[in-house]
Amino acid sequence: MISVQTTLKNRLLLSAAPLAALASLAAPAFAQDQAAPATLPSDAPAAEQTPQDIVVTGTLFRRTDTETPSPVSVITAQQLDQRGLTTIADAINTISAGNGGSIPQGFGNAFASGAQGVSLRGLSTNSTLILFDGLRPAYYPLADDGQRSFADLNTIPGAIVDHIETVRDGASSLYGADAVAGVVNIITKKEITGIHGRVEGGVSSRRDSGGQRFQLTAGYGKLDEQGFNVYLSGEYQHQDALYARDREFPYNTNNLSSITRPNGFTGANGNVNYLPPSTTGVSSATVAVVRPANQITPGNILSGVAIAGGQYQILGRTDCGAGLTTHVNTAGSYCEEDQINKYSQLMPDQTRMGLTGHLTVNVGSNAQAYLIGTYYQSTIFQNRTPSSLRSNNPIYTYGLVLPAQLANGALNPQNPYAAAGQAAMLFYSFGDIRSTLKNVSDTYRIASGIDGKFGDDAWSYSVKGTYMRTNLTQYRTGNINLAGLTSAISNGTYNFINPSANSQAVRDQIAPKQQSSAHSEVAEVQGIVTHSFFDLPGGPLDVGVGGEFRYENIFDPTPNPGNQFLTINAFSAIGHRYITSGFFEVNAPVLKELELNASGRYDHYSIGFNHFSPKFGAKFTPIKQFAIRGTYSEGFRAPSVPEISGNVVGFTNYTPPAAVAALHGNNSYTLPYSVGLNSVGNPNLKPETSRSFTGGVVVQPTSWLSLTVDYYNIKKKNVIYQTADTSFANIYMGNGVTAGTLPAGITVTPNAVDPEHPNLLPTPLFINGQYANGQSLKTSGIDAQIQATFEVTPGIKFTTNLEGTEILEYKQILQDGTVYDYLGTLGSYSVTSASGTPRWRATWQNTLDAGKFSLTSTTYFTSGYKGWAADYNGVGSCAANGTPENSVKYNAPGTQATTRQLGDALQCTVKHFLSFDLNATVRVNDKFSFYGIVQNLFDAHAPFDPNTYGGNNYNPAWAASGIIGRYFKVGAKFEL
């Protein structure tokens, strides 16, 4: 830890040294320049720097002091430009308070693929509330892990965003459900005049992953002169796919056998069939391999059982051909294939485009109304590994064989054992049928509102509403249709010996193109009235009340009706609900130095529960330069539609008990395999509840420098969890003949019977259980932010902004009292992409403005973590034989273990990730500027992480820029 921190400190200092050196030359001039405020108004242009009467996210009241009792941070449109961030999702996921459980774009196997979500405090995507101009967006139609509903960050155009406010505190007392970890409010510009455009292109230093961005906005009318403003804005973005084969080891392969581990063993080879194909495995190469088998049930090609001692044989040839490795040994001959290298993507192909119209009108002298409409389309395209004909989802096909005779009675020419009357157990992936997934998300949103004052300006009101709908269409190719497959095999129409000879009609019969649709909706109306009743020693007593009505709907039917296709998870969620809410806030400056705040909200859900969420805050300012603040709040998360009425299947490895295997003669039926864990919706779920408190200080010793430090502590109760677990498999197996008694609510869907022992109990195919309340979570940590702006010399200004978060505690307490400590590890492994819980995250931005030239360096840091998770494999051999866990560290790719083998250590420690971006902008005149950006300036590589499943030997949640490498962008902006 000491060496990592020392290295980090040196590199951070080095990155800022040129800018800091210039700043140090002008120490006497520090007081000459007014620093930018710590937060910006929610309804003012980003360039406005003077104090105003504004509303900050997390309160109902207009105020000039933007430092509320709750900690709020801001990213302005200018900062987004300076950092070179392309999307709103990229911006939000750089917030240091974000941690494990976010949905990165590089996680191609996500249930909610194509979307991006943020997870403040690591409490997952469903505990962070996203708002667009203070109103909720619709949930993404697909749920994270098939369970957690969340808002997709890819549905709002970046060109119209003024700034992003993040409340780093529980806020259910004003905003209701989901605001347990905090609120992210994306605030759009209310006034744009003239024509503004941007053209940008980018490419990696390896000449791939090219990207383009185009924006054009036209606006007319000035609110302070003509009383209205209208603008129209459109944008287009595209990012090319990045394939694993285009990056170096270890990201381009699943074969780590070239690694030498400390005990002399090599790393794991994850290629398909690096060992003889398993009769209970799904992996198969694109060159067919067979072994002799018996077809137990005539006419049923799924009833095959391998003949003991039968050797593997490459079908119709003596070797595997180019691009594959031929193995010949005592098991026979078979083909090894690196399908990660040949087919997998590290980043999908992405296209986003949208159009927004916005109107703002002054209504008399005391009110202002707005109307905004947006259409946005987000498309991702993923190339996937070829589909295997061996599957246990949703149907068990491990016994699939080529029959000895075709349906017409002729000997099967594809079966080399047909003349002997034997079937051929088949191991094959359809390399001649491309497997892809394309998600197209079309979002339609309209919002309108009016804000104003009445009664000699003593009363303020705000009324606004929104409707948003997201239509999601998924296009799949390459998924195997079981009926088409069995027909092709039974009739001999598919050529496994020479797949290139197959007609397109036969391929379409086996894997027809598939299309599925889902949608989500939200409709919301909200009204707020505030009033200053009388003066207290510190100022007026403010009281605000509000009400809200909301409708939420998710329609996500199964993409695999009738279980026609192999390997398509039949998750689904269909349901809607109505929410009626009332809320209030009281702000009492009881002394000039002391401000007290109380708020509360009551929510009624039509699905059968109510909840009240209170919050109390205080801010003590003994002197102008120093304030102490703190809050206490209670919040909740409502059960999602998938948790109430959906279902989803996950898979995990299972090995039947030795006694059961012995009854089956230790045949292939009882070898390890993947069992499905089917989580079913529960309409009787209760809301998850939370208790949180914060405490911190705000220090502004001079006009050019400010510092905030805040402690947070959150505990969630009644956490919803999946009851289906592999521990019930052994209970079900009982004595191997008669099923054991399962707990209430747990059932088992059995596999097909063992053809060799049809009277024995079949192994479990799925373990089924409803979602339930019962677990809890605890986390705490510290946020810190330093901001400074000062004049180096006349005409040269330096601005620095450093924000960081340290997590002090992150624990999950199971329903039986077991405690999992995830801090600084890969846990929670089962959530989203196994992104882990790194202890530290930080962002440091430094900008030097010198007339027409500006230079910005931005540093991103995520600390390393232990390469194991308490909810998956535990400490394991990292602490074996009394060896301290941290004695086995990551040094370079290839020096540590990647799997447990013979007591060897795991990859015990994953390195920190540190990257630097540089942005140089030249303003040619007031109407035109051009810029150049280098992201990941030093070409930092993503730390080697063979333990996560989110990416191939790297973690996409923290190190996406490390997999892309050094990236160059050039662009121009113009105004007319």
**627: three-class secondary structure by DSSP:** strand
Sign of CA dihedral 444, 94, 150, 127: negative
Ranges in the chain, pLDDT < 70:
1-54, 63-66, 261-266, 873, 876-907
* Whether the Cβ atoms of residue 104 and residue 727 lie closer than 8 Å to each other: no
Give the separation between CA 10 and CA 384, rounded to whole angstroms.
Answer: 42
Determine the residue type at 62: R
* Angle (nearest 5°) at CA 699 between 695 and 701: 170
DSSP letter string, 115-132: --B--BTTS-GGGEEEEE
Give the separation between CA 714 and CA 709, rounded to whole angstroms.
Answer: 17
Q: Could you tell me where the DSSP H helices lie in 155-208?
A: 172-175
The CATH number that domain 2-246+347-383+439-476+515-646+684-722+772-864+911-975 falls under is 2.40.170.20
For residue 846, the cross-strand partners are 800, 857
What does the block give as tokens for 385? 């590994």
Give the separation between CA 357 and CA 374, rounded to whole angstroms.
Answer: 7
For residue 217, the cross-strand partners are 196, 233
841-852 confidence digits (pLDDT tens): 999 999 999 999
What does the block give as tokens for 920? 């140089």
Domain map (residue ranges) of the chain: 2-246+347-383+439-476+515-646+684-722+772-864+911-975, 270-337+390-427+492-512, 873-910
What does the block give as tokens for 909? 């420690």
What does the block give as tokens for 454? 């009445």
Determine the residue type at 403: P
Give the separation between CA 570 and CA 568, rounded to whole angstroms.
Answer: 6
Smallest CA-to-CA distance from 396 within 570, 571, 564, 566 is with 566
What does the block give as tokens for 49? 């720097």
Local structure of residue 598 (DSSP, 8 states): E
Three-state DSSP string of 449-506: EEEEEECCCCEEEEEEEEEEEEEEEEEEECCCEHHHHHHHHHHCCCCCCCHHHCCHHH
Question: Is residue 759 exposed (0-12), middle (13-18) or buried (19+ Cβ within 10 Å)?
Answer: exposed
**31: three-class secondary structure by DSSP:** helix
Give residue for tokens 């192999």: 566
pLDDT of residue 265: 63
**19: three-class secondary structure by DSSP:** helix
pLDDT of residue 717: 96
Sign of CA dihedral 150, 152, 153, 156: negative
**680: three-class secondary structure by DSSP:** strand
Q: At a CB cut-off of 8 Å and minimum separation 6, what does 550 contact?
A: 136, 522, 523, 524, 525, 578, 579, 581
Sign of CA dihedral 681, 685, 687, 691: negative
Give the separation between CA 509 and CA 490, rounded to whole angstroms.
Answer: 13
Residue 207: count of CB within 10 angstroms of its CB: 8
* Whether the Cβ atoms of residue 919 and residue 931 lie closer than 8 Å to each other: yes
Beta-strand ranges (E) seen in 498-572 are 514-536, 539-556
Phi-psi region of 668 (alpha: psi -120 to 50; beta: other; left: phi over 0): alpha
Rg (CA), the chain: 30
- For 50, 138, 167, the CA distances from 58, given in Å and listed in that order, are 21, 21, 7
Pairing of strands 673-680, 349-363: unpaired
**664: three-class secondary structure by DSSP:** coil
pLDDT of residue 899: 36
| Helix (H) / strand (E) containing 347 | strand 345-347
Determine the residue type at 87: T
pLDDT of residue 53: 60
- Would you give the distance in Å from CA 871 to the centre of its chain? 19
For residue 215, the cross-strand partners are 198, 235
